[in-house]
Amino acid sequence: MYSAIASFFNVQSAVMLLVAVAAFATVLTLTLPLLQTDKLGNRMKFVATEREALRQKFREQMANDRGRLRQTPKGFIKDIVDKFAHGRMLENEVIKLKLRQAGFRGQGPIYTFIFFRFVMPPVVFVLTLFYLYFINSFGLGGMARFAAAAGGAFIGFYLPNIFVQNVIARRQESIQKAFPDALDLLLICVESGMSVEAAFAKVATEIGAQSVELAEELSITTAELSYLQERRQAYENLARRTGLPGVKAVVTSLIQAERYGTPLGQSLRVMAQENRDMRMQAAEKRAAALPPKLTVPMIAFFLPVLFCVILGPAAIKFFG
């Protein structure tokens, strides 16, 4: 036993063991780089593939929704507008911006808006004259009736504007209520390592249950981020379509982060808190406006009943 252990620790065995360890280390050093894969290269390739797949997905989605998002003019409306409207009216950027803010895109809504601007004044004029001559004249003479009909025609010219403004107000209210939550979701997606396009796409999918309007705008922004060469243009288009100060502030932060490489997560966190404060201030403003609005109903409905309850027994005893 002792001789076996001594033979194992002799000089020749030690040299053979060292040679074997050195050979194994040499082989391992030469073959290990060949066995390792380029993780960064594979990850970048995967990201590029996913980005292209995302672009293709939204191209197909926008192509399927083209009939809903962009309506083409049809029928006699197009013929009448082309016949009587000037070219500058069809290319009016103010009208286009208002219709985009209301959610109407494409040439169809522009033709419809201009058509009703032409049609509503004579229609309201004729209806007002018919009402004043055949239903109720309110004691007006012939010239007064004609003047009232002319005033109705003037109001009819602005009825399409009033309708579009009401749609814009409802749409902005829906977007403003859901926008702070959308920023929180966007912050989570960005900090988890998702790209901006994927983050916008995910938020557009999740926020649809709370605000369809905001989900539609974010989907369009995602498509524009894939189509346009500069992200700045897509962000600015989002601000113009919504027309909200909170969205414009977030767009400015996104553009600055894109240009100067500043941390996007901190900016989104601050913007989410500011938009949440703006939403709370709007709710407080509405609550503060309730007492003046309730003054007239209280005077008209509550005080007569209160007087009857207080003075009723006394009146009964007096006249009884």
The predicted pLDDT at position 196 comes to 84
- What is the distance between the alpha carbons of residues 71 and 108, in angstroms, rounded to a whole number? 5
Beta bridge pairs of residue 70: 105
| Torsional class of 86: left (φ above 0), alpha (ψ -120 to 50), beta (otherwise) | beta
The predicted pLDDT at position 67 comes to 46
- What is the distance between the alpha carbons of residues 213 and 170, in angstroms, rounded to a whole number? 10
The dihedrals phi and psi of 92, each to the nearest 5 degrees, come to: -70, 120
- What is the distance between the alpha carbons of residues 257 and 263, in angstroms, rounded to a whole number? 6
Q: What are 201's two structure tokens?
A: 């796409």
The predicted pLDDT at position 75 comes to 67
The predicted pLDDT at position 296 comes to 82
The predicted pLDDT at position 164 comes to 92
The predicted pLDDT at position 167 comes to 92
Q: What whole-number percentage of the chain has pLDDT above 90?
A: 5
Residues in the chain predicted with pLDDT less than 70, given as ranges, are: 1-15, 19, 22, 24-25, 27-28, 30-79, 82-91, 320
- What is the distance between the alpha carbons of residues 55 and 52, in angstroms, rounded to a whole number? 5
In the chain, where the domains are located:
70-169, 174-283
| Residue linked to tokens 């006249």 | 319
The predicted pLDDT at position 73 comes to 59
